[in-house]
């Protein structure tokens, strides 16, 4: 299995001066990935996001949450989509002054297939760990948002479309 | 494109076994841990410690793995112990509420 993406554009519409300037870099920057639909995709996405956070001087809980979020979103696209296995998963993370927006475009059958799924099913959880865990069927988005002490700056935006993978 | 490094160290002595996980645990690497668990159990391990101290990242499939292992240990009659991962990975166990339901031990050598 070749763990590589079809292409990575870590585009920065920002000045390079954003490096080390901390949260609140004045202009938006973005990470845009076109990933092959395989199990290596989440690690590739995490690596790109981590690198971009480093360039922007973003650290701590915000960085951790973002990496987890992106990893889960890409994982879900890889595992749960009914899309053609040959189609790509596209990830766009836009880093604004006050907000980070993460969009996954999954060329799934019939349109949007970007989903946030907590993979522990309700039935399984009930059997395994009792109702307390079963009730914890909240979205991953809320879960990872809580990981961040600065969640007001972390706008978790889910989106999907039927855009063809070939762009 | 760099692939996240991931290693499993396996050791057993009689009925006591230990798997040490190093790197990042996600949908690419969870199956490798499952294979390593199967292998060490087939070798006769009755008390298995999985050392997570070298894990810097765990995703939800990793959480699920440990829940399933705990179920398996009960159903199959072997003993499971886990040591905690690094803080950023431990947070995922804590905030999801899974931590208190898993057999974490303070000292890996306690089992």
Predicted-complex ipTM score: 0.89
Asked if residue A66 has pLDDT above 60, the reply is yes
State the number of CA atoms in the 13 A half-sphere of A143 facing the CB.
Answer: 22
Element (H, E) at A161: none
Render pLDDT for B8-40 as a digit per residue (tens, 0 to 9): 999 999 999 999 999 999 999 999 999 999 999
A133 vs B28: CB contact, 8 Å cut-off? no
Render pLDDT for B56-95 as a digit per residue (tens, 0 to 9): 999 888 988 998 999 999 999 999 999 999 988 888 888 7
The residues near A83 (Cβ < 8 Å, ≥ 6 apart) are A37, A77, A106, A107, A108, A109, A113, A165
**Do B78 and B44 form a contact (C-beta atoms < 8 A)?**
no
Q: Is residue A59 within 8 angstroms of chain B, CB to CB? A: no
Return the DSSP state at B4. Answer: P
Render pLDDT for A7-42 as a digit per residue (tens, 0 to 9): 444 433 333 333 344 444 445 788 999 999 999 999
A43 vs B61: CB contact, 8 Å cut-off? no
**Do A140 and A158 form a contact (C-beta atoms < 8 A)?**
no
Render pLDDT for A81-128 as a digit per residue (tens, 0 to 9): 677 778 888 888 887 766 677 778 766 543 333 333 333 233 333 333
pLDDT at B97: 78
Asked if residue B43 has pLDDT above 90, the reply is yes
Give A105-156 as a DSSP string. EE-BTTB-------SS-HHHHHHHH-HHHHT----HHHHHHHT-TTGGG---
Q: How far apart are CA A23 and CA A21, in angstroms?
A: 7
pLDDT at A108: 52
Out of A43, A128, A132, the one facing B67 most closely (by C-beta) is: A128
Give B20-81 as a DSSP string. EEEEEESTTTHHHHHHHHHHHHHTT-SEEEEEEEEEEEE-HHHHHHHHHHHHHHHHHT-EEE
Confidence of residue A75 (pLDDT cuts 50, 70, 90): confident
Asked if residue B100 has pLDDT above 50, the reply is yes
pLDDT at B107: 67
Q: Is residue A92 within 8 angstroms of chain B, CB to CB? A: no
Question: By CA distance, what is A128's nearest residue in B?
Answer: B71
Best residue in B4, B25, B28 to probe A by mutation, most A CBs within 10 Å? Answer: B28
pLDDT at B40: 97
Which neighbouring-strand residues pair with B23? B6, B55
A43 vs B26: CB contact, 8 Å cut-off? yes
Q: How far apart are CA A85 and CA B15, in angstroms?
A: 43
Which single residue is written with the structure tokens 């009730």? A135
Asked if residue B54 has pLDDT above 90, the reply is yes
How far away is chain A from the Cα of B82, in angstroms, using its nearest Cα?
A: 17
Q: How far apart are CA A72 and CA A119, in angstroms?
A: 10
**Do A118 and A143 form a contact (C-beta atoms < 8 A)?**
yes
Burial of A145 (0-12, 13-18, 19+ CB in 10 A): middle
Question: By CA distance, what is B90's nearest residue in A?
Answer: A147
B26 vs A8: CB contact, 8 Å cut-off? no
How far away is chain B from the Cα of A145, in angstroms, using its nearest Cα?
A: 10
Render pLDDT for A34-64 as a digit per residue (tens, 0 to 9): 999 999 999 999 999 999 989 988 877 778 8
């Amino acid at each position: 299995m070749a763990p590589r993406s079809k292409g990575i554009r870590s585009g920065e519409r920002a000045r390079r001066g954003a490096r080390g300037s901390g949260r609140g870099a004045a202009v938006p920057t973005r990470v845009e990935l076109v990933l092959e639909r395989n199990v290596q995709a989440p690690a590739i996405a995490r690596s790109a996001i981590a690198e971009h956070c480093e360039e922007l001087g973003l650290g701590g809980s915000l960085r951790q949450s973002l990496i987890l979020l992106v990893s889960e979103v890409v994982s879900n696209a890889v595992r749960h989509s009914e899309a053609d296995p040959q189609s790509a998963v596209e990830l766009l993370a836009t880093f604004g002054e006050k907000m980070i927006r993460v969009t996954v475009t999954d060329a799934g059958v019939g349109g949007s297939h970007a989903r946030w799924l907590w993979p522990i099913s309700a039935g399984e959880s009930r059997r395994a760990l009792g109702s307390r865990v079963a009730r914890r069927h909240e979205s991953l988005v809320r879960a990872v948002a809580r990981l961040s002490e600065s969640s007001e700056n972390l706008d978790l935006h889910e989106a999907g479309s039927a855009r063809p993978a070939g762009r | 494109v760099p692939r996240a490094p991931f290693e499993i160290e396996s050791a057993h002595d009689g009925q006591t076994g230990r798997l040490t996980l190093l790197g990042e645990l996600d949908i690419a690497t969870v199956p490798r841990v499952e294979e390593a668990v199967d292998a060490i159990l087939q070798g006769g391990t009755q008390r298995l410690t999985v050392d997570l101290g070298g894990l810097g990242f765990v995703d939800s499939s990793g959480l699920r793995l440990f829940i399933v292992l705990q179920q398996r240990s009960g159903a199959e009659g072997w003993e499971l112990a886990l040591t905690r991962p690094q803080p950023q990975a431990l947070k995922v166990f804590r905030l999801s509420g899974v931590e208190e339901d898993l057999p974490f031990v303070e000292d890996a050598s306690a089992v």
